[in-house]
Amino acid sequence: MKTLLLARHLVTPTEVTEEAALLIEDGIISAVGVRTELHTANAQVVDFGDSILAPGLIDIHVHGGAGHDVMDGSDQSLAAIERLMMLHGVTSYCPTTVTAPVEDTLRSLDALGQAVKRAFSQNDGTRAQPLGVHLEGPFLSHAKRGVHPPALLQPASRDLFDRMWSAADGRVSVLTIAPEINGAIDLISEAARRAVCVSLGHSDADASQALAAIRAGARHATHTFNAMRALDHRDPGILGPVLTDQGLTADIIVDGVHVDPEVVDLFVRAKGVEGAVLITDAISATGMPDGTYLLGGIEVQVHHGRCEAKGRLAGSVLTLDRAIRNITKFARVSLQDAIRMATINPARVLGIEKRKGTLSVGADADITVFTPRGEVVRAIVGGVVN
């Protein structure tokens, strides 16, 4: 079946087309161009008027939403989370674990690995699709653990990573690790060899330790500024390399709670629109009223958009479309550049930029339709227009 989408603008996201048309065939983008030049007699035509066609949003750090946590792993829980994300323009994501007892983590990884496998063969167009698991913990610093339970943190271990890898059937996309803990450099090298994106985070590392991790294969940073040694003009710590190494991408939570808007602006100036990635770090409370919710096995109180466990920030209730709108204000970037930070940039982090995060011929037909103000009109997964 062929579907022709029309809109006032299309962002690839690196280029802009006016009076745009995009043709979908069998879930793949087969043509992109101007509506006066792109016609097909046999296609279903959907005209979005003054809207903007953009790549489907990708969130590489999601713990939950709609009252459910990804570590539950059940299809009922994941369906609720994925349908909520679709309402906010997210078409694919990395379900993200939190430090828990090893056996509980392995059970969750087994379920999440199966969910990733199913997503490649099942698509009704109503749910964001999991791409691969993000392991946030247990290889984290005690000093910068955030709300991760200290008794459950582990030294970096190939053996434990192998068990996690096997439980997820090899469907691990991101590993957040503190580079200063015992065994970290060896594990970073091994994970990078398996094409996992190794991300530096929850770390009290100094600059030399961070640079050693980058040499070993780390290439990203997790929720920059949060759960990291503070930047000092004589002791830059981990943030020195994270902000200045142009070979390292970095993500950030732009909810106005985790990072001050002025520091968000500094972050974008340092990393550029090519190196910055928007995430939500969303927990089960996302899309829900204030109250008490779970992050893995951690009890979190949510009040006026702030998530805390025993006085510490514990994830967020941010949605990725709001992060896009926020960063246009905080860092004074264009809507196009903000969309880039939630599409092609995270796709490149995961190494899937040829099929996700872009509106180009041959890519998956994952599309988010925005108003000119950045509000979501529709999200389309795999070319299914509901």
Q: Which residues are catalytic?
A: 281
Residue 181 to residue 200: CA distance in whole angstroms:
12
CATH 2.30.40.10 for domain 1-55+358-386 = yes
Cα–Cα distance between 340 and 15 in angstroms, integer?
10
pTM: 0.98
- Burial readout 88-119 (b: 16 or more C-beta within 10 A, e: otherwise): bbbbbbbbbbbbbeeeebbebbebbbebbeeb
Q: Where exactly are the structural domains of the chain?
A: 1-55+358-386, 57-356
- Choose among 183, 201, 184: nearest CA to 98: 201
385 exposure class (CB count in 10 Å sphere: 0-12, 13-18, 19+): middle
**pLDDT, one tens digit for every residue, the chain (386 residues):** 899 999 999 999 999 999 999 999 999 999 999 998 887 778 899 999 999 999 999 999 999 999 999 999 999 999 999 999 999 999 999 999 999 999 999 999 999 999 999 988 888 899 999 999 999 999 999 999 999 999 999 999 999 999 999 999 999 999 999 999 999 999 999 999 999 999 999 999 999 999 999 999 999 999 999 999 999 999 999 999 999 999 999 999 999 999 999 999 999 999 999 999 999 999 999 999 999 999 999 999 999 999 999 999 999 999 999 999 999 999 999 999 999 999 999 999 999 999 999 999 999 999 999 999 999 999 999 999 98
Q: Which CATH number fits domain 57-356: 3.20.20.140, 3.40.50.2000, 3.40.980.10, 3.40.1190.20?
A: 3.20.20.140
- How big is the chain, counted in residues? 386
Distance, in Å, from the CA atom of 303 to the CA atom of 351, rounded to the nearest integer, reads 37
